[in-house]
Chains A and B, each alone.
Chain A
Amino acid sequence: MSASRTLPPKTLFEIYRTALKIQLIDEKVRGLLMSGRMAAVFYSPRGQEILAAAMSANLQPTDYLVTTYRGVHDQVAKGIPLKQLFAEYYGKVTGTCKGKGGPMHITYPKAGIMVTTGVVGAGLPIANGLALASQLKGDGRVTVVTFGDGASNIGAFHESLNMASLWKLPVIFLCQNNGYGECTKYEKATAVANIADRASSYSMRGVTVDGNDAHAMYEATREAVERARNGEGPTLLEAKTFRFMGHYFGDPGAYIPKEEYAAALARDPMPKCRAQVLQSGAATEADLEALAKQINAEIDEALQFALDSVPPDVSEIDVDIFADGAHV
């Protein structure tokens, strides 16, 4: 794992602010689901907030993101507007995708969020294409594609890493290794100790980092983004982390040993980062409480916007099939 360096307090605080936003959105959504006030499939990112926030601190709004169904942390970090996000969760016409994609398929090109796929591993080949377009146009954008440890066992992962390395594409393969592929423990499904070890098969730079450590994660993504932007090719960046809420919302997670869960909880990235922020002097307890309040107000406003919005007109079913609207 790469060494953890000390971040400037302002950067650390920015990362925490984004991570806190992710955490509070996740809390809100789970609360809504639990109380029956929202009906949607949801894959909680609880525990993976810091890695997404630290990644995005190194990205421009124009950079591309391809993520997965467990992707709300990536999307928020990349700058998705909360009103459209919540409206999409509620299937409203004001949602990012007019209610046609839902939580597993959030798309918002204005913030560079090009694809959220519901198919494990499917984002990697697409990310290569986005990066290829940037390389050909010389537009200086980088593409980040995020996926879980389980995705590294699907063929698309291997085809994509080979192609990206061969063509020196400006792409970062960010594996969020949370220890479980669906309900199967990492060691029972993956033959290598670290996902990043697989990079060597494709003459690619592979880096394993503590995804729960803001400093290490920031530094690792900074380096990978810089290399990609400078034409030095792709990186397979493995961020070790943990997901606290199981695979899907409602997953009791009985397959996770109690001791393992307790140990992971002791490494929860959020309290750790909060302590670092306070220690750095970037914010006081009162500042952070005010921040949480401000974010919660923004979330409540977004939720109200979603609730006040209407579903799409049924005529929308024939729209967006083809560009010209032609449809049998």
Chain B
Amino acid sequence: MTSASDTQKTISFTDAYRIALDESMALDDSVIMLGEDIADEEGGGVFKVTKGLSTKYGRHRVRTTPISEEAIVGAAVGAALAGMRPIAEIMLMNFVTVAMDQIVNHAAKLRFMSGGQTSVPLTIRTRTGAGGGTAGQHSDMLEAWFAHVAGMKVVVPSSPADAIGLLAGCIFDDDPCLFIEDGMTRTLQGPAPPPNHRLPLGKANVLRAGTDVSLISYGRPIQDAKVIADNLAKEGVSVEIVDLRTVSPLDTETVLRSVAKTRRAVIAHEAPRSFGVGAEVAAHIQEHLFSDLKAPVLRVASRDVPVPFTKVLEQEFLYKRSAMEAAIRKTLDANGAGVRLAR
């Protein structure tokens, strides 16, 4: 006899992105896609996320573009101004830098600068992540840059089900969203959600409730967080995992509620440490909960260097699961800590 969970369908991240795109295009004719190689004749995208969609919806809605990132994002901005819900696929996050003027000066600001007369319901999908040996121009996590610009929403999913819900959330949001896909976990499987799953943007998710320390993260390190929480549970330490889901606008309410309870916080992300999302989250925590904290807020992140190519350096660059666990132990061992770990 099999239980319901044994028979539940699982999907990969890549499946999830495609499902969200497919469902959104089926729901609304104004959803169109622009990107390099995305139509089926060109292979359905380098990462095959859009495979089958141009055949199903036509090349007029799933448009293979020239290699012209600024023109791709600009055309998506213009189409959005005219009432479409365009999705611009920029193959890799480092290539998004080529379209910065359109994103930072236009997409993000046109609502405000027009006094609310126009809106830019645009989604930019992009992929990135270190660990695959693609080095400094194909691996960067640049989410903090975009979170720093008023008017942009920045979203990073940590499971296939969330990927569907959050991508659909971006597509049907009336503001410009940057949706970041992790290249290293693209084949990772997770439970499939029901059809037309949609999650609200700007809301963090308490992925696992705990009482001793809040581990705040998003994207790939959430996989590490789950393993760490399981391991520490065996030692009697209760870790609460807060998955930000949306980096900006930041759900400070959920973060602060968690840390007010646990009184200890570790923030982990793949992007380099300096001037990162971790610094922003840590600042909010100390501004609001300084006297409640039992330990300094710690950050675990990648190194402040370009992503190197060769394996030994690339691994040295990347944030480490062991460092995340060590940071948690450090907060627990800090002066005045109520929890002492068995050694």
Contact = CB atoms under 8 A, between A and B. Distances in A.
Contact of A97 (B60, B114, B250): B114
B101 interface: yes
A327 B249 contact: yes
Given A322-B151, A322-B175, A128 B105 contact: no
Interface stretch (B82-90, B228-236, B300-308, B311-319): B82-90
A159 B151 CA distance: 26
B101 A122 contact: yes
A126 B70 contact: no
Contacts of A322: 111, 151, 153, 174-175, 249
Given A97-B117, A122-B106, A321-B111, A162 B68 contact: yes
Contacts, number: 156
* Residue of A95, A130, A319 with most chain B CB atoms under a 10 A cut-off: A130
A163 B115 contact: no
A133 B84 contact: yes
Nearest to B67: A159
B60 A136 contact: yes
Nearest to A145: B78
The binding surface of chain A is classed by DSSP as: mixed
B116 A124 contact: no
A296 B86 CA distance: 44
A126 B110 CA distance: 12
B74 A128 contact: yes
Contacts of A127: 78
A323 B175 contact: yes
Contacts of A143: 78
A98 interface: yes
Contacts of B112: 100, 320-321
Interface stretch (A106-114, A182-190, A300-308): A106-114
Given A323-B174, A328-B250, A125 B74 contact: yes
A64 interface: yes
B150 interface: yes
B71 interface: yes
A160 B82 contact: no
Contact of B118 (A109, A124, A128, A162): A109
Contacts of B71: 125, 128, 156, 159-160, 162-163
B70 A125 contact: yes
A64 B105 CA distance: 20
Nearest to B151: A321
Contacts of B116: 98, 319-320
A271 interface: no
B75 A132 contact: yes
A126 B77 CA distance: 6
Contact of B106 (A99, A117, A131, A327): A117
A104 to B, nearest CB: 9
Interface string A120-156: 0010111111111110110000010000000000011
A156 B78 contact: no
B78 A97 contact: no
B90 to A, nearest CB: 14
A166 B71 CA distance: 12
A96 B113 CA distance: 10
Q: How large is the interface on B (under 10, 10 to 19, 20 to 34, 35 or more residues)?
A: 35 or more
Contact of B113 (A105, A109, A133): A105
Interface string A150-177: 0000011001101100110000000000
A114 B74 contact: no
Given A101-B113, A122-B105, A128-B71, A114 B66 contact: no
Contacts of A155: 70
A103 B100 CA distance: 23
Q: Which one of A107, A118, A126, A162 has the greatest number of beta carbons of chain B within 10 Å?
A: A126
B249 A101 contact: no
B79 interface: yes
B12 interface: no
Given A128-B74, A319-B116, A323-B174, A114 B81 contact: yes
Contact of A107 (B60, B68, B115, B249): B115
A317 to B, nearest CB: 9
Contacts of B115: 95-101, 107, 320
B76 interface: yes
Contacts of A114: 78, 81-82, 118
A239 interface: no
B66 A156 contact: no
B202 interface: yes
B79 to A, nearest CB: 4
A238 B96 CA distance: 31
A115 interface: yes
Contacts of B174: 322-324
In the A-B complex, the 7 residue pairs with the smallest Cβ-Cβ separation, listed nearest first, are A125-B74, A129-B78, A133-B82, A98-B115, A323-B174, A159-B71, A97-B115
Interface of B: 32, 60-61, 63, 65-66, 68, 70-71, 73-84, 86, 101-102, 105-106, 110-119, 150-151, 153, 173-175, 202, 248-250, 252
Given A117-B105, A320-B112, 4 more contacts: A114-B118, A131-B78, A162-B68, A163-B68
29 contacts: A66-B78, A96-B114, A98-B116, A101-B115, A115-B110, A117-B105, A118-B105, A119-B106, A122-B101, A122-B102, A125-B71, A125-B73, A125-B74, A125-B78, A126-B74, A126-B106, A128-B74, A128-B75, A129-B75, A129-B76, A129-B78, A130-B82, A156-B74, A156-B101, A163-B71, A320-B111, A320-B115, A322-B111, A327-B150
